[in-house]
Amino acid sequence: MRLEKLKGNIFEVSLALNFDYIGKGHGTKMLKKTLKIFLKKRNLAIVSKVKKNNHNSLNCFKKNNFFKVKYNSRIFNYVKNHNNYLFFKYIDN
């Protein structure tokens, strides 16, 4: 799990799992716990980019209240081949 400060109060979250743990819910649990700890008493924006063909990651972010947003180079810095990605923002419910 990695959180990288992009600008101001905007952080990009990304995660990587060993192949043996993919598709078993571990990423969803890790992301949920990280968000709970990181966002506690903070006013931060959490964003992520996911390759369009990475269905496990797409599901993981959607299960954790991330919603698709349009690519914005001011938020995500410059993303080479940004058409290959979907971009998400965490929405606290």
- The domain that holds 28 is classified in CATH as 3.40.630.30
Split at pLDDT 50, 70, 90, the class of 60 is very high
What percentage of the chain reaches a pLDDT higher than 70? Answer: 98
**Strand bridging mode 85-90 / 10-14:** unpaired
Quote the number of domains for the chain. 1
73 lies in which domain range? 2-90
Residues forming a β-bridge with 13: 3
Following CA atoms 61, 3, 8, 76 in sequence, which dihedral angle do they give, to the nearest 10 degrees?
Answer: -60
State if pTM tops 0.85. Answer: yes
Contacts 24+ apart (CB under 8 A), 4-8: 6/47, 6/75, 6/76, 6/77, 7/74, 7/75
Per-residue tokens: 37: 């700890």
Q: How high is the mean pLDDT of the chain?
A: 91
